C-alpha cells in the first residue's frame, strides 16, 4: 500500500488534469469554485486513486503466485477442432489420478508414488502371452506354426506405462490392453506393409494430435535411424511413417487402444511432455521426449528359442518388399533383447543410439547420462 505522503503528492500532480477533464474520460468538467467543492473533488480522486493503487499490485501478485504447472506454456498442440476434446483429455486425467491411488493401495506402495506429469516410459508387446501358443510337447512342426499363429492374433498385445519415482527408477503404473495391432512377429520395413514396428522410439511433443480422426493420438516416432538404414533402396521415405497410438479398435499397423483408454494414455503423455525437460551431459537443456520400446513378445532367451530359424527366414523374405536387403530376424531379436534386458535389470530406460551404416547398422545401449528435470515457471 502507498504511503500517505506519496499518495498526497500523487493527488497534487494530477489535480490539474482532473480539474481540466474528467478523471476517467475526456468530457470537460467545471473547475471547483469553493473550498467545499475542491474537498469533494480531492475525496473523489482519493477514492479512484486508491482503487488504482489496490488493483495494480494485485495484478503483479496474481502473476507471481501462479503455481506450477499452471504457469507453464504448453508445448503440445492446443488448438482443438472438436469442442469436446478438452473434456476428453480432462476425463482421461481424472481417471488416471483415480487409478494412481487405486494402484498404490492395491500394491502396497506409498501414497504419492505415482505423480501425474512425471516422466514416463512406454513398453509395448505385440503378444503378452507366448505360452498359450506352445504345446506341451514341442515338435519341429509346432515351431514352424508358431510364427503363423502369432501373425493371426491381432488383439493379444499390451502397452505398459512405467512412471519415474523419487528414487529415479521407473515403477510399472498400469498395463493397458491393445485392442488391435498387426501381430506379425516382424518389424516394419516398408511403406504400406501394414506391420507394427519393433524397436526403440521417442515421442516428440510436436507429434501429439488432439484432433485425430481416431479420437486422440500421438506418433511413436517411427521411422528412426535404424529403420531408415535398413531400407537400403529408399533410406528417406521407403520405410513408411505415421505409426500412432490412437483410439478406436482397428489397426493397419498402429497401436489401437480404444477410446476410453486412449484418453488416459493421451493425458499422461501430454502432461509428461509439457512438464519436463532434459539436462544433457554437457549441462545444456533440451526438449524432453518419452521413450517407447516395442517388442514382439517378452524378449527372453527361452521365448526366442521357441522359433524355427527356417520359418523366420521365410517370413523375412516374404516381407522384404522394396527394402532392398534381406532382414535377419534372429540377429535383430538378439539385438533388441539387449535393450530389453537393460531395462529389466535397472528399471531405467537405457540410452539408445544406432551404430554402423546401412543394413549392417544395429542398436547400441548405454547407461543413461541425461537427467530429466521439471520445467520451471517462466
- For 146-185, the pLDDT digits (tens) are 999 999 999 999 999 999 999 999 999 999 999 999 999 9
Q: What is the mean pLDDT of the chain?
A: 87
Rounded to the nearest 5°, which phi and psi values hold at 45?
-65, -40
What are the tens digits of pLDDT across the range 53-112?
333 333 344 445 689 999 999 999 999 999 999 999 999 999 999 999 999 999 999 999
Look at strands 244-246 and 255-256 and give their pairing.
Answer: parallel
What are the tens digits of pLDDT across the range 330-375?
999 999 999 999 999 999 999 999 999 999 999 999 999 999 999 9
Q: What's the pTM value of the predicted model, to 2 decimals?
A: 0.82
- What is the structure's pLDDT at 316? 92
**pLDDT tier at 323 (50, 70, 90 boundaries)?**
confident
**Does position 12 have pLDDT exceeding 70, yes or no?**
no
- What is the structure's pLDDT at 189? 92
> How far is Cα of residue 341 from the mean position of the Cα atoms in its chain?
23
- What is the structure's pLDDT at 34? 56
**Does position 48 have pLDDT exceeding 70, yes or no?**
no
* Length of the chain in terms of residues written: 378
Tell me the C-alpha distance between 120 and 292, whole Å. Answer: 9
Tell me the C-alpha distance between 133 and 296, whole Å. Answer: 14
**Does position 27 have pLDDT exceeding 70, yes or no?**
no
C-alpha grid cell for residue 148? 503363423
Is the distance from CB of 11 to CB of 45 less than 8 angstroms? yes
- What is the structure's pLDDT at 215? 98
- Other CB atoms within 10 A of residue 243 CB: 23
**Does position 292 have pLDDT exceeding 70, yes or no?**
yes
**Does position 13 have pLDDT exceeding 70, yes or no?**
no
Q: What is the mean pLDDT of residues 227-247?
A: 92
Tell me the C-alpha distance between 42 and 15, whole Å. Answer: 8
Rounded to the nearest 5°, which phi and psi values hold at 343?
-70, -40
**pLDDT tier at 33 (50, 70, 90 boundaries)?**
low
- What is the structure's pLDDT at 322? 83
Of residues 26 and 139, more confidence is placed in: 139
**Does position 329 have pLDDT exceeding 90, yes or no?**
yes
Percentage of the chain surpassing pLDDT 90? Answer: 75
**pLDDT tier at 19 (50, 70, 90 boundaries)?**
very low
> What is the maximum span of the chain, computed from C-alpha positions, in angstroms?
114
Q: What is the mean pLDDT of residues 27-45?
A: 48
Residue 32 half-sphere exposure, CB side, CA atoms within 13 Å?
A: 17
The region of weakest confidence among 8-12, 207-211, 296-300, 346-350 is 8-12
Amino acid at each position: 500500500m502507498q504511503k500517505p505522503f506519496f499518495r498526497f503528492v500523487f493527488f497534487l500532480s494530477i489535480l490539474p488534469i482532473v480539474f481540466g477533464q474528467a478523471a476517467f474520460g475526456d468530457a470537460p468538467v467545471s473547475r471547483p469554485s469553493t473550498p467545499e467543492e475542491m474537498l469533494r473533488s480531492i475525496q473523489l480522486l482519493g477514492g479512484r486513486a486508491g482503487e488504482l493503487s489496490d488493483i495494480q499490485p494485485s495484478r503483479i501478485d496474481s502473476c507471481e503466485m501462479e503455481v506450477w504447472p499452471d504457469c507453464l506454456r504448453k508445448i503440445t498442440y492446443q488448438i482443438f477442432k472438436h469442442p469436446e476434446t478438452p473434456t476428453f483429455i480432462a476425463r482421461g486425467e481424472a481417471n488416471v489420478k483415480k487409478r494412481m491411488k487405486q494402484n498404490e493401495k492395491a500394491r502396497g506402495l506409498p501414497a504419492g508414488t505415482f505423480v501425474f506429469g512425471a516422466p514416463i516410459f512406454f513398453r509395448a508387446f505385440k503378444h503378452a502371452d507366448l505360452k498359450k501358443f506352445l504345446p506341451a510337447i514341442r515338435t519341429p512342426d509346432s515351431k514352424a506354426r508358431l510364427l503363423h499363429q502369432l501373425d493371426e492374433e491381432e488383439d493379444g498385445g499390451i502397452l505398459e506405462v512405467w512412471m519415474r519415482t523419487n528414487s529415479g527408477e521407473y515403477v510399472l503404473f498400469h498395463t493397458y490392453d491393445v485392442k488391435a495391432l498387426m501381430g506379425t512377429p516382424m518389424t516394419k520395413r516398408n511403406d504400406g506393409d501394414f506391420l507394427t514396428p519393433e524397436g526403440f522410439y521417442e515421442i516428440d511433443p510436436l507429434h501429439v494430435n488432439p484432433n485425430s480422426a481416431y479420437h486422440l493420438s500421438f506418433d511413436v516416432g517411427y521411422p528412426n535411424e535404424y529403420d531408415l538404414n535398413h531400407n537400403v533402396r529408399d533410406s528417406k521415405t521407403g520405410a513408411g511413417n505415421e505409426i500412432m497410438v490412437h483410439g478406436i479398435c482397428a489397426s493397419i499397423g498402429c497401436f489401437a487402444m480404444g477410446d476410453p483408454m486412449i484418453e488416459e494414455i493421451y493425458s499422461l503423455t501430454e502432461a509428461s511432455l509439457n512438464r519436463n525437460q532434459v539436462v544433457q551431459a554437457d549441462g545444456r537443456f533440451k526438449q524432453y521426449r518419452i521413450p517407447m520400446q516395442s517388442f514382439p513378445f517378452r524378449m527372453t532367451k527361452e521365448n526366442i528359442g521357441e522359433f524355427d530359424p527356417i520359418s523366420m527366414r521365410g517370413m523375412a523374405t516374404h516381407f522384404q518388399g522394396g527394402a532392398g536387403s534381406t532382414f535377419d530376424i534372429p540377429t535383430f531379436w538378439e539385438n533388441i533383447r539387449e535393450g530389453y534386458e537393460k531395462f529389466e535389470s535397472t528399471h531405467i530406460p537405457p540410452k539408445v543410439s544406432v551404430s554402423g551404416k546401412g543394413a549392417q547398422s544395429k542398436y547400441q545401449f548405454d547407461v543413461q547420462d541425461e537427467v530429466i528435470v521439471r520445467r520451471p515457471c517462466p
